Structure 1
Amino acid sequence: MANEFVARSLDEVRFWSRIMKEHSLFLKLGFRCEDTQLINEANQFYSVFESIENRANAFTVETDPHTIVRFNEEVHNAASHIWVFKRKVLGLILRCQLPGANNFPLLVDHVSREANYFRNRLTELNTGRLEPLPDAIIDENVFFLRIMADHAKFISHLLDPSERKLVDQANNFSHDFDQLLFQARDLESMRPQSQTTPLLDQFLDQNRVSVKALRDFKKTARDLIDACRVKSIIHPLLADHVFREAERFLHIIDMFETSLTGRPVSTLHSMFED
């Protein structure tokens, strides 16, 4: 159990610290040149999470669990601070105090939700109070389906309007994931009666199909952007960033499927590899 705690903690921190680091960069790129204080704060958060990422990569599953508990507490503190920063930025945008800046309000809200998710995961790990499987399946899917729906909207709005075919594809994904999110919230409001194995199994299967399709679309978009074959204002790192989050969601769905049914999933990839 101690090794599992260490492995799960390091997996979460390695993945999400990189995400938080990249959020700092994306927010900085969206600020105006005169927003020097916000730019400096973003740079500081970039350094903080880069350091956390490097330290997490230096630990192994053999690391003393007490060391990881203390590390998780430190990372939780950093995640809480970047959450506060993101909410501050959102407030400035919504009060029209950053006219001309290029961070969408929904994007800032989106990255703050991810920071909150990260710190909640660290709390769950340190306290050992993980959700029962049926609750975790619904809650994780509600969270990630909204993330995927947001990604589709961001891609649509950051592609050049002349990329009509890709914009249409992104809009179709946005609609698809909005519908999946509504279905997930219906299942959520029907619990605990809705938490039967057949319903949850179908829920995971249906979501997997759509997430795979979106993952493949993101990979294509990333490769086109890297090769300068598509017109957009999407940073290449952002294209890879959203691709990695879709991959993460697929891994989680596959792990839930295995835990729920006991059947191995052919596409299963361990989230806890060293």
Structure 2
Amino acid sequence: MLVRIEFKKGVITVSLFVTRSLDEVRFWSRIMKEHALFLSLGFSFDDKKLIQEAQDFVSLFERIEEKLNTYSPQSDPEEIRRFNIQVYQAATAIWAYKRKVLGLILRCEITSNNYALLVDHTSREAAYFVNRLKELNAGIVEPQATDIIRENVFFLKIMADHSKFIGHLLDPSERKLVDQARDFSHDFDQLVFQAIDLDSMRPQSETVPILDQFLDQNRVSVVSLRDFKKAARDLIEACRIKSNIHPLLADHVFREAERFLHIIDMYENTLLSNN
């Protein structure tokens, strides 16, 4: 159950809580809606119940988006807190649905065009969204410097997954693009392992130079992948490359790379403010 807002730092204002809440819900609700659509497209014709459940989630998050549009940065924070609880319940429900689908795939109870890793990937993003809503309603609005490595591990793994999906969904004849996707997959796997190593070392200071270098290195790699995704999206929309990638999926993964860059910016600002 989400708790009442209790701002633990004087610098955190109520207006910031509202702004951050609306931003998180705006971004992640659209992602959840699109996940439901992509999953529905990957089921076989016989899985009518699973398809209907996915379509119900599309409708649910569309209603959340409609309600979101009635709020503004000047909205009553208590009303936003209640809205966060409603969205939290929806995000928890779609997380449970995704884990159910993953279980069916792993037990070979359904035959699906949805990769097991893709379903797991989408469930991790739902869990992330659930956690962000809990943090917001607990008064944790600003990025916490102690979470830098953990947050980067999460998003680096997301970027590595995207690279793998792109490589597998491109037509095999698109050899150069397939090779590029595989290279990105390898690079981001290495960044994940590097981040896990750094997490094991657990720097005691939130201002140690290695954290700045860690973010800078991640930024360079994410910018390269973001640009690759943008180029692929534009080519797919123009029907200039062969693939099984839905144009909306191409835009979806591009937006998530942009989100990661935004988060890197926020953590860099947090480190600067702690210096």
Name the TM-score, length of structure 2 as normaliser. Answer: 0.92
Work out whether 1:185 is the aligned partner of 2:193. Answer: no
2:101 — aligned with what? Answer: 89
Query: How much does 1:258 deviate?
Result: 2.0
Q: TM-score when scaled to structure 1?
A: 0.93
Paired residues, number: 262
**Structure 1 residue aligned with 2:152, among 121, 125, 141?**
141
The answer (yes or no) to whether the contact 2:143–2:266 under 8 Å persists in 1 is no
Partner Cα separation in structure 2 for residue 138 and residue 52 of structure 1: 31
RMSD: 1.4
Alignment partner, residue 43 of structure 2: 31
- Structure 2: gaps spanning 5 or more residues: 1-12
Shift of 1:34: 1.0
* Aligned position for 2:127: 116
Within 5 Å, which residues of 2 pair with 1:71-86?
71-86=83-98
Query: What is the Cα deviation at residue 130 of structure 1?
Result: 5.7
Check the 8 A contact 2:32/2:61 in 1, yes or no. Answer: yes
Matches within 5 A, 1:192-207: 192-193=203-204, 195-207=206-218
Match of 1:67 among 70, 79, 85: 79
Which residue does the alignment assign to 2:262?
Answer: 251
Please state if 1:221 is matched with 2:215. no
Deviation at 1:56, TM superposition (A): 1.3
Structure 1 window deviating more from structure 2 (140-149 vs 250-259): it is: 250-259
- The CA deviation string for residues 165-195 of structure 1, in whole angstroms up to 9 with x for no partner, is 0000000000000000111111111114374
Structure 1 residues 6 and 156, CA gap change in structure 2 (3 angstroms): same
Moved more, 247-256 or 165-174: 247-256
CA deviations over 1:240-271 (Å, ceiling 9, x no partner): 000000000001111211221259xxxxxxxx
Q: 1:132 to 1:213 in 2, by over 3 A?
A: closer
CA contact (8 A) 1:133 1:260 kept: no
Q: Which residue of 2 aligns with 1:212?
A: 223
Q: Distance in 2 between matches of 1:259 and 1:97?
A: 47
